[in-house]
Structure 1
C-alpha cells in the first residue's frame, strides 16, 4: 500500500472515531459554472475508496450548465457515450457538515493527480498552471477575499428581500459600513466563521460592507494555491447552508441590486523563489511592473472567467470600486490590479475584478497565467491610475464579446490549455443563449 492510500485510510478511520453518528459523506467537486456535483457515499464505502477502490463519476458532470443541463460541446455529452472518469479523494478535506438536519460529512474529490485527468476540470486547470510555475522556481502565496449578501429566507415573487435585523426586527435596508452591523448579525456571522474553521479554513477579517446586508470575509494566506481555491469553494457551500439554518439566504451573486455595490472575489498573490525571496520585490520592483503588465494584457481575454454570467457583467462600471477598463494602481481600489502598501517581503498584487460567484480555481489560474506571461515578456505596464486617472485598456462588457476575445487568444490557450478554453467558451456561450430564452415582464411592458 503506497503512502497516499495509507494516509487517506487513516483520515477516514479517525473521522469515524470522532464522528460515530455520521453515516454518509458527500463526495463533491466543482463544475465549470462553480457548482458542486458529486455523490453521497455510505461511510463504509468511503473507507474502501480510501484503501484504493476505484472512484468514478461521469466525465461530463464537469460540463453542466448553470441550470444543470448538458450542452453539445464538440464530441462531449451527446457523441461520447457519457463515459466515467476516475476521481481521487483530496487528503485533508474530510470534514463534518453541521448545517444539515442530520449528521453528515463531506470531502473534496478531483481528477487532477489521476492517470487521466479531465483537461477541462477547473481544479486540474489550476493544478497544471501551478505545476508549471513550480518547475520555473516560482511559488505563489495566495489569499482570497469574498463578498456576499444576506437576504431574507423568503423571496417576494421571486425577488430577494432585505435581511431582517434580528435586534430591531426591521429590514437592514440602509447601505453602510457600520461596525454595529457585525454585532446585530453576530449569531449567523459567528456560525459562518466557526463552520468555516471546522472545514479547515483559516478565517481572518470580517467586514460589514457598503451594501445593505453585505459582508466580506477574508482568508489567511497559503503557499498552496489549490488549497486556497478549495477554501474559497468550500466557504461558499458552508455559508449558504449556515444562512438557511438561521433563516437567511446567503448569496454570492455578483449584482443582486442595481443601486448597491456588487460582490467581488479579491485575490492577493505574491510570488517567491525556492529560498523564500519575494520575486516581485527584486531589482527595484521591476518584476512587479512586468507581472502587472502581463495581468493587464490577458485580462480582456479572460473576462468569461472573471465575469462568468450575465449578471456578473452588470457589476462592472456600476457603483463603488467597479472598474470598466483594465487598470492598475498603488493603494487604489478603483484599479483592477491594486498594489497594497507593504514591506518588500510581503509585496503582492490584489486582483479585484472577479465577481464573487466566479469559479475560484479558474480565477486563480487566469491571474497566475497573467503574472507568468508578464514575467516572461518583461514589458512595461501602462501608467498607473495614481499618475493618470484615464489610464486603462478596454475589455469586453458582454458575454458573447468576451467569449470571442478569449477563445482564440494564443497566450490564454497556451497557459490554460486549448481544450479547456474551447470547452469553457462554448459552455459560457450556450449558457448565455439559454438565459436569453425567456421573455420577462419588462419586455412585455416595453414592446407589447
Structure 2
C-alpha cells in the first residue's frame, strides 16, 4: 500500500508544471463524522513530503465530533498527550481546486499503509476489510450514488430556502422528477459534473429527484473500494464548493424537509474471484442469498454507520423508497437491499439504507462485512418483499438504541475492529448527547 517517493514526487512536479499559479495545497482526510480535516501546505513543502519527509497530524483529529469538538473517549483526547500520527499522501489525488477565489490544489492523506495506522480512521477500517477479502480471493466492484439538495445561498433565520429556478426566478418548491429541471439548473449541475471529473471522478448519470431542488449523481463502477469511497468523499466537498460559487447551498443532509424525501447514499456491490467469476451468481445464485442474509443480519447492528446523526433517523420511513425494517427484494426500491435486474456476470446488490451524509468508507466497510459474514455463515435470508410485503427485521430507530446494538455485537467487532467499534460508538453517543443540550423554540411553546 505504500507508494514509492519517486512516483509521488513525479506527481507533484507534474502538477506544478501544469498549474504554476498554485501556491498552496490542502492535504485532507475524512474524520469519523465524515468531515474533512487537514492542513494547507506550501507546494514547495509538499514536494519534500513526496520525496519522503514525514507528514504528521494529530491522531485525535479523526475523533472530532460533528461540531469539531473533542470528546473524552477512553484515554484518547485528554489523557494521551494528543500525539501526532504519521500520514501518507494518496497517489493520484493531487488535483486543482476550481471553486475557490484563488488558485489552490488538494490531495488526500491517510494513515492506512503507514507503519502505525490509526485503528479508528475510517479509511483504515475499510482498508482492513478489503485486505481481508482479497486474502480470501474476494474482489469487490463498487459504485456509489449520492442524492443531495440545492438550497438558496441565503438562509432564513437559519432555515433553508428553496433554490431559485434560474429561468423564472421563483422558488423551485414543486416536487417532481421532470427532466426539464436538469436543463433549468444545467449551469450549476454541469459545473459540478466537470469539477468532479477534474478530481478524477467518473460521473455517469444525473437525475432530477422527487424533492424540490433534489438531484442524484451516479459514479462509475470501480474494482478499487478505497478509490470508490474516495470519490464519494471528494464529490461532496467539490459539490458544496461549486454550489456556493453559483449562489446555492448544496447539502447532503439526510432529511432537510419533513414533507419531502430524504437523501440517500446507494451503494452497488458485486463480488468476483481472481478469475473474474461473479461469486454472487455461483450455485444458481445461492451465494447471493447467503450474502443478502449476512447483510440483513448485520444491518441492525450497523445503524450508527448508516444513520450517523439525529437527522438521519428522520429519513427512515414515511416517505418514498425509505425502509423502516431490514428487508430485501428483486427490483424493489422499498427494500434496504435491492437486487437490480442484470445478467449473471453483473449480478450485484444495491444497498439503499445509508443516508447521503454517512461516511462512505464506513458504509462500504459495513456492507462488505455483511456480505462476507453471509458467505461464511451460508444461511438463507428472510422472504423477499416480492413474496411477502410484510417481510423484514426490526432495526433501531434512534441513536442511543443503535449504539447499544452495535457496540457489543461480536461479528461487527470482529469484522470492523473492536477498537474502532468502541471509539465510534462513544463518538456517536457523545454527539447525540451534545445535540440534546439545547432548548429549542418548540420546547418553550410546549412546556413554558
| Separation in structure 1 between the aligned mates of residue 325 and residue 282 of structure 2, nearest angstrom | 28
Separation of aligned partners in 1, 2:307 and 2:443: 24
| Number of equivalent positions | 448
Change (3 A) 1:78 1:95: same
Shift of 1:222: 0.0
Aligned residue for 2:413, secondary structure, equals helix
State the shift of 1:4 in Å. Answer: 1.3
Give secondary structure in 2 for the equivalent of 1:120. Answer: coil
Aligned to 2:385: 385
- Over 3 Å counting, the alpha-carbon distance change for 1:121 and 1:3 in structure 2 is closer
**Cα separation, 2, equivalents of 1:156 and 1:330:** 43
Counterpart CA distance in 1 for 2:416 and 2:225 is 15
Q: Is the 8 A contact 2:290 2:375 kept in 1?
A: yes
> Partners of 2:358 and 2:38 in 1: how far apart?
19
Residue by residue, what CA displacement relative to the aligned partner does 1:302-341 show, whole Å, maximum 9, x if unpaired? Answer: 0000000000000001210110000000000000000000
Aligned-partner SS, 1:387:
coil
SS in 1 for 2:79: coil
Spell out, residue by residue over 1:23-69, the C-alpha distance to the aligned partner (whole angstroms, 9 max, x if none). 00000000000000000000000000000000000000000000000
CA distance in 1, matches of 2:324, 2:181: 30
Alignment deviations for residues 320-363 of structure 1 (CA, whole Å, 9 cap, x no partner): 01100000000000000000000000000000000000000000
Residue deviations 1:85-111, cap 9 Å, x none?
000000000000000000000000000
Residue segments in structure 2 that go unaligned for 5+ positions in a row: none
- Compared CA separation, residues 216 and 2, structure 1 to 2 (3 A): closer
Q: Take 1:170 and 1:177, find their aligned partners in 2: how far apart are those partners?
A: 18
Task: Show the counterpart of 1:313.
Answer: 313
- Could you tell me which residue of structure 1 aligns to residue 93 of structure 2? 93
Aligned twin of 2:254: 254
Residue deviations 1:368-415 (CA, integer Å, cap 9, x gap):
000000000000000000000000000000000000000000000000
- Contact (CA 8 Å) 2:31, 2:62: kept in 1 or not? yes
Matched residues in 1 for 2:311 and 2:389: separation? 27
Cα distance, 1:99–1:3 mapped onto 2, change above 3 Å: closer
**Once the two structures are superposed, what CA deviation does each residue of 1:214-240 show, in whole Å capped at 9, x if it has no partner?**
000000000000000000000000000
Change (3 A) 1:190 1:365: same
1:10/1:289 CA distance change after superposition, 3 Å: same
State how 1:37-436 maps to structure 2 within 5 Å.
37-436=37-436
Deviation track 1:418-442 (CA, whole Å, cap 9, x = no partner) reads 0000000000000000000001001
Distance 1:173 1:319 in 2: 17
Runs of 4+ aligned structure 1 residues displaced above 3 Å come to none
For residues 228 and 3 of structure 2, what CA distance do their matches in structure 1 show?
Answer: 24
SS of residue in 2 equivalent to 1:165: coil
Question: In structure 2, do the counterparts of structure 1 residues 78 and 340 end up closer, same or farther at CA, with 3 Å as the change threshold?
Answer: same
Q: CA-to-partner distance for each residue in 1:181-216, whole Å, 9 max, x for gaps? A: 000000000000000000000000000000000000
Determine the C-alpha separation between the residues in 2 that align with 1:407 and 1:120.
14
Q: 1:64 and 1:294 mapped to 2: Cα distance?
A: 31
State the TM-score, normalizing by the size of structure 1: 1.00
Q: How far off is 1:2 after superposition?
A: 9.4
Alignment CA distance shift 1:255-1:79 (3 Å): same
* Cα distance in 2 between the residues matched to 1:347 and 1:153: 41
Residues 129-165 of structure 1, C-alpha deviation per residue, up to 9 Å, x if partnerless? 0000000000000000000000000000000000000
1:247 deviates by 0.1
Contact 2:3/2:91, CA 8 A, preserved across alignment = no
Secondary structure of the corresponding residue to residue 376 of structure 1? helix
Distance 2:117 2:286 in 1: 37
SS of alignment partner, residue 123 of structure 1: helix
Alignment CA distance shift 1:167-1:101 (3 Å)? same
Describe the shift of the 1:94–1:269 C-alpha distance in structure 2 as closer, same or farther (beyond 3 A).
same
Q: Is the 8 A contact 2:150 2:249 kept in 1?
A: yes
Question: In the superposition, relative to structure 1, how do residues 194 and 2 fare at CA in structure 2: closer, same or farther (>3 Å)?
Answer: closer
Does the CA-based 8 Å contact 2:70-2:77 persist in structure 1? Answer: yes
Is the contact between residue 2 and residue 114 of structure 2 (CA under 8 Å) also seen in structure 1?
Answer: no
Query: In structure 1, what is the Cα distance between the partners aligned to 2:354 and 2:147?
Result: 11
- Distance, in Å, in 1 between the alignment partners of 2:130 and 2:219 is 20
Does the Cα contact within 8 Å between 2:255 and 2:262 map onto a contact in 1? yes
Cα–Cα, structure 1 residues 3 and 436, in superposed 2: closer, same or farther, change >3 Å?
closer
Matches of 1:72 and 1:433 in 2, distance apart? 13
How far off its partner does 1:3 sit? 6.2
| Structure 1 counterpart SS, 2:4 | helix
